[in-house]
């Protein structure tokens, strides 16, 4: 059982909790009543607000719809007014732009093109909307007048500002590739930059809006004239420079280094000058020939003129390539792409035809020179042909895209030059072989014949053009190998040709030597010519070229020279035979000579004296230009004669064969040697 005290405490605790719960319940009930009241108030307010919104909406929506309609009407009005203004503006284009079009585009191209754009739009509008209106005709006429003014401005700009390129600048341009000292590229400014931009804008407008290609014809005609005149000016520069100073030159590029101006000598790529200088060198060593005895026209005389003409043409060819490249670069900025190749083809025709015509004239002159046997003129073909073949890759690149007839012009000229060159080589060899034996033309002193010096000079000239000459010969070969000949094949052909010329020359010299009645003079003549040929071969690269097909050529010439020396020495036998041991009688010392024996000794002395004097008198007038050979022959002959005469004099000088010994013993041994030392010396 629970004690009464605990039960009482328990009851009081429960009563207290119950009282608290009742108080809480009462608070919740009061709160709910207040919340219900607030809810009712809010619902009432919202109902009132909804009612007012509905009233407002019913009032605003009609107003909004009216405003929207008014805005749409306003926009339509504005658009209509704008269109009307736009259309009306087309009717004013003619009057607004007429003054500008009438005054032309000069100095105001931007404004002018803007006016032309307005006129173009007006034309398009009237064509689409009012094709029968008088306004269309008016703006059309104005457009055509404006287009004509632009075409005229294009022509005027091109004419006024296209200048001939000066020869000095062209030479700088040509030499720029080879001049390692010049680091800056030579740039040609055909048109000032501002003018170029105007020309480009006009050309683009004419293509896009003018539907006109006539300006392209104007362009190529003007530029073609400038290109042609530039090349002709370079040629004239060579002529004037050569006549005033002898050597054309190119000063340094203007304004490049004002404080250190220089002069660049123009390179002469292989003229006949080198061979002539070689000949002069040989002349200083006593190897030169004398005039006479050849129907070949000497290579000296017109070389200066030929050099200038050759140099001028070669440099004009190089100038054409460089200027044509520059013209094409200019053209690509001005002419539409699909018209560039055709326009360029037309542009270069006059200058190219001029070069080709001059080249054909050179071929024609060479052909006439061959008939006259003037091979100095023919030699001009060689440096020109070599330069054309060297320049051909650049030519082909420049002419890319041009007509086939344009591309084939240079190959045609090269073929013509190769043909005439081969003809010249063939005729030269034949002329060497068939040069007539004219007694009055033979050198009286037996020196080197002009035929020999001319032949060697011609062959030496070929050294500078070995590949070119070999190609000429190969081009005439009918064998299949000639179609793709190698440099070695070409070199062998040239070697064979040179050997042929030397063989023909040797045969002709043998024939000419028979003109001399004296076999000794004939031998001296052949000796001089053979020696000249051998020394000339050795002093140049000809000996190596000959050795390609004839290994023993040098030894053969030495044998021929020695053979002629021996032939010459036999001329002294008629002198030495008088005093030779084999025909001398033996005398016993102290035995008195018989009259017959004394007479025989007298005859021997007299025969020797007369023969010696006669030979010395005759051979003194003969010539051996080569000092070394002259001394060698004199010394050999002196040794033979002195030895024989010394022995004879020793044996009979003291024999009493005459009462007047000074009459027969006219010369001492030393005197005989001195007389022989004066042989081949017309000045002694």
**Which of 87-91, 99-103, 187-191, 326-330 reaches the highest mean pLDDT?**
326-330
How far is residue 566's CA from residue 550's CA, in Å, rounded to a whole number? 25
- The residue behind tokens 């309609």 is 69
pLDDT digits (tens, 9 = 90+) for 41-57: 888 888 888 888 887 87
C-alpha 43: how far from chain center: 108
**Which of 172-186, 206-220, 355-369 reaches the highest mean pLDDT?**
355-369
End-to-end CA distance of the chain: 189
Report, as an integer, the average pLDDT of 163-180. 79
247-261, 349-363, 432-446, 496-510: which has the minimum mean pLDDT? 247-261
Local confidence band at 499 (pLDDT 50, 70, 90 cut-offs) = very high
Report, as an integer, the average pLDDT of 286-304. 47
Sorted by sequence, the CB contacts under 8 Å of residue 255 that are 6+ apart come out as: none
pLDDT digits (tens, 9 = 90+) for 456-494: 999 998 888 999 999 899 888 754 444 456 788 889 999
pLDDT at 279: 40
Please name which of 188, 190, 189 lies closest in space to residue 222, comparing C-alpha atoms: 190
How far is residue 216's CA from residue 41's CA, in Å, rounded to a whole number? 95
Query: Per residue in 143-174, is it b (16+ CB within 10 Å) or e — as a string?
Result: beebbebbbebbbebbeebbebbebbbbbbbb
In the structure encoding, which two tokens stand for residue 401, read together? Answer: 């895209």
Please name which of 452, 559, 460, 547 lies closest in space to residue 499, comparing C-alpha atoms: 547
Q: What are phi and psi of 375, to 5 degrees?
A: -80, -10
Mean pLDDT of the chain: 83
Residue 659, CA distances (Å) to 165, 351, 572, 602, 663 in order:
97, 96, 29, 11, 9
To the nearest whole percent, how much of the chain has pLDDT over 70? 83
pLDDT digits (tens, 9 = 90+) for 379-426: 889 999 999 999 999 999 999 989 999 999 999 999 999 999 999 999
Say what the pTM is.
0.73
In the structure encoding, which two tokens stand for residue 484, read together? Answer: 């793709």
How far is residue 319's CA from residue 317's CA, in Å, rounded to a whole number? 5
């Amino acid at each position: 059982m629970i004690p009464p005290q605990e039960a009482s405490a328990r009851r009081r605790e429960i009563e207290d909790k119950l009282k608290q719960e009742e108080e809480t319940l009462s608070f919740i009930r009061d709160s709910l009543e207040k919340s219900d009241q607030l809810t009712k108030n809010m619902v009432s307010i919202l109902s009132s607000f909804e009612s007012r919104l509905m009233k407002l909406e019913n009032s605003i929506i009609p107003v909004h719809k009216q405003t929207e309609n008014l805005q749409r009407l306003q926009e339509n009005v504005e658009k209509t007014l704008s269109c009307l203004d736009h259309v009306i503006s087309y009717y004013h284009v003619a009057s607004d732009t007429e003054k500008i079009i009438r005054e032309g585009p000069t100095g105001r191209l931007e404004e002018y093109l803007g006016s032309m754009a307005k006129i173009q739009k007006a034309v398009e509008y009237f064509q689409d909307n009012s094709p029968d209106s008088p306004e269309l005709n008016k703006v059309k006429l104005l457009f055509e007048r404006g287009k004509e003014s632009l075409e005229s401005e294009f022509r005027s700009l091109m004419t006024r500002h296209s200048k001939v390129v000066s020869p000095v600048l062209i030479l700088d341009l040509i030499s720029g590739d080879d001049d390692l000292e010049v680091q800056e590229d030579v740039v040609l400014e055909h048109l000032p930059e501002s003018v170029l931009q105007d020309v480009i804008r006009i050309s683009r407008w004419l293509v896009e809006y003018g539907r006109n290609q006539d300006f392209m014809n104007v362009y190529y005609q003007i530029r073609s004239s400038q290109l042609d005149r530039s090349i002709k000016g370079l040629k004239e520069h060579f002529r004037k420079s050569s006549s005033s100073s002898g050597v054309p030159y190119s000063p340094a590029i203007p304004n490049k280094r004002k404080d250190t101006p220089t002069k660049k000598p123009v390179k002469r790529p292989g003229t006949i000058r080198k061979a002539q200088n070689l000949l002069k060198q040989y002349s200083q060593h006593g190897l030169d020939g004398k005039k006479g005895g050849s129907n070949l026209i000497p290579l000296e005389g017109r070389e200066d003129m030929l050099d200038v003409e050759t140099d001028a043409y070669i440099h004009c060819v190089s100038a054409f390539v460089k200027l044509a490249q520059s013209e094409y670069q200019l053209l690509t900025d001005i002419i539409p792409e699909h018209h560039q190749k055709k326009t360029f083809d037309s542009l270069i025709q006059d200058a190219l035809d001029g070069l080709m015509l001059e080249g054909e004239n050179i071929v024609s002159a060479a052909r006439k020179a061959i008939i006259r046997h003037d091979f100095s003129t023919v030699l001009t073909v060689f440096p020109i042909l070599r330069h054309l073949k060297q320049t051909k890759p650049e030519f082909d690149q420049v002419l890319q895209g041009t007509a086939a007839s344009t591309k084939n012009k240079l190959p045609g000229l090269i073929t013509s030059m190769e043909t005439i060159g081969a003809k010249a080589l063939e005729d030269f060899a034949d002329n060497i072989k068939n040069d007539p034996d004219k007694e009055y033309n033979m050198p009286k002193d037996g020196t080197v014949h002009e035929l020999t010096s001319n032949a060697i000079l011609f062959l030496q000239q070929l050294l500078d053009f070995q590949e070119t000459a070999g190609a000429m010969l190969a081009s005439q070969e009918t064998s299949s190998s000639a179609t793709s000949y190698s440099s070695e094949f070409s070199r062998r052909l040239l070697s064979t040709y040179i050997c042929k010329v030397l063989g023909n020359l040797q045969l002709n010299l043998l024939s000419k030597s028979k003109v001399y009645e004296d076999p000794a003079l004939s031998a001296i003549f052949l000796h001089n010519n053979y020696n000249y040929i051998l020394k000339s071969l050795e002093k140049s690269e000809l000996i190596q070229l000959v050795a390609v097909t004839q290994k023993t050529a040098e030894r053969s010439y030495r044998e021929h020279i020695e053979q002629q020396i021996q032939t010459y020495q036999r001329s002294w036998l008629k002198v030495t035979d008088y005093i030779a041991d084999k025909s001398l009688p033996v005398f016993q010392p102290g035995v008195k000579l018989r009259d017959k024996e004394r007479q025989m000794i007298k005859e021997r002395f007299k025969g020797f004296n007369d023969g010696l004097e006669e030979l010395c008198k005759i051979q003194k007038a003969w010539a051996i230009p080569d000092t070394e050979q002259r001394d060698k022959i004199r010394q050999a002959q002196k040794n033979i004669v002195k030895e024989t005469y010394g022995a004879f004099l020793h044996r009979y000088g003291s024999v009493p064969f005459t009462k007047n010994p000074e009459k027969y013993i006219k010369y001492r041994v030393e005197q005989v040697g001195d007389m022989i030392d004066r042989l081949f010396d017309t000045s002694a």
